Copies of this chain bind each other. A is one copy, B any other.
């Protein structure tokens, strides 16, 4: 079998989207490019940069399109993702999760030798010393952001005095370049009402606003202030404190964001561009059919429990994951019917967890499969 799977021969064939072997992860190129353009225009109009989150899609090709549209490098969650992006000639990669163990610091040093603008975060004095050592070994500076805790009890420094101390340490460490701060708080990102989300979104940024003022007063004004996300991209810029938005989901959207009023004057600037295509494999009983996409093909861990049926099923039908590799479509009207072999397209509840279960994006434009792109950076290390 071709490593790109059973659908390779369909590339470029008119109407081939409807011939794809399933389960298949589908990426709608026009919808994605439109999403990228829409955020880019909004950023330009509102004077912030977009730092596209490659951890969402793990694809060099998608990152290239985000960068071509004006995105400022990319940001990633794992060292492997950083390696893959750098090797895909993406500059200004921000690794927003701390690298702390000696083997990974070795890899970071080796990566930095061939990277342009590599940036990492730190919330720990011992780690700053380690990063400096790695940078000196690589013969090139590494940019460092101080990580600010935003109340979500994850990484980052909550105490401003300690943060200032850490920033001084970064400044004073040979090999490191103090580049600014990062603060991410994401619990409110998919609240549907814009006004409520705005209220919480502005409050969540308080620690960053305060820290930036403090650092400015100490002549340590951050060049980069990174944070925010898809759900707050029309909120964060109001404060003028974030220089860049870490936006990821906007590029393909997912079920969690379908009902979110995204902008104050434009509730749906982004369209779903990611689908799971699934085939009916059984209709032996009345009232429902069974399909070939279950937990392994469409993740339901976050948000709604039900993947949204985009097309292929009767009005009102509901999709449930009912097994590791099996889904069920329950009909609203008991007399509804689908044949064995019929196909439905689903919008996954959480794009990230669904993408990582696939090796390939089936890239379509309209009804035609135009390419098959790898999910490049899936390794966990």
Interface size on A, residues (CB 8 A): 71
Q: Which of A149, A157, A379 counts the most chain B CB atoms within 10 A? A: A379
Bound-state CA distance A29–B107 (Å) is 29
Bound-state CA distance A283–B338 (Å) is 54
Judged by a CB distance under 8 angstroms, whether A23 is at the interface is yes
Bound-state CA distance A12–B149 (Å) is 41
Bound-state CA distance A288–B149 (Å) is 13
Bound-state CA distance A100–B358 (Å) is 22
Are the C-beta atoms of A379 and B359 separated by less than 8 Å?
yes
Are the C-beta atoms of B340 and A126 separated by less than 8 Å?
yes
Interface residues of A in 189-232 (CB under 8 A from B): none
Bound-state CA distance A360–B381 (Å) is 11
The stretch of A37-45, A135-143, A235-243, A322-330 in contact with B is A322-330
The stretch of A64-72, A262-270, A291-299, A306-314 in contact with B is A291-299
Are the C-beta atoms of A282 and B123 separated by less than 8 Å?
yes
Are the C-beta atoms of B381 and A155 separated by less than 8 Å?
no
Q: Which residues of B contact A123 (CB under 8 A)?
A: 282, 284
Judged by a CB distance under 8 angstroms, whether A244 is at the interface is no
Are the C-beta atoms of A352 and B381 separated by less than 8 Å?
no
Are the C-beta atoms of B285 and A149 separated by less than 8 Å?
yes
Are the C-beta atoms of A154 and B328 separated by less than 8 Å?
yes
Interface residues of A in 261-289 (CB under 8 A from B): 279-285, 288
User: How far is the CB of A26 from the nearest CB of chain B, in Å?
Assistant: 12
Residue of B nearest to A106 (CB): B6
Copies of this chain held together in the complex: 2
- As a 0/1 sequence over residues 236 to 254 of chain A, the CB contacts with chain B under 8 angstroms (1 = contact) are 0000000000000000000
- Determine chain A's interface SS by DSSP, over half rule: loop
Q: Which residues of B contact A288 (CB under 8 A)?
A: 153
Residue of B nearest to A330 (CB): B153
User: How far is the CB of A357 from the nearest CB of chain B, in Å?
Assistant: 6
Bound-state CA distance A55–B378 (Å) is 20
Cross-interface CB contact of A153 among B154, B285, B356, B358, cutoff 8 Å: B285
Bound-state CA distance A295–B104 (Å) is 21
- What are the 5 closest A-B residue pairs judged by CB atoms, nearest first? A155-B282, A301-B301, A77-B325, A123-B284, A98-B281
Besides the known contacts A155-B281, A297-B380, 17 further A-B residue pairs in the complex with CB atoms under 8 A apart: A6-B381, A21-B104, A23-B380, A24-B380, A77-B324, A97-B325, A98-B340, A101-B341, A123-B282, A124-B283, A124-B284, A149-B284, A155-B290, A157-B284, A186-B323, A296-B353, A358-B380
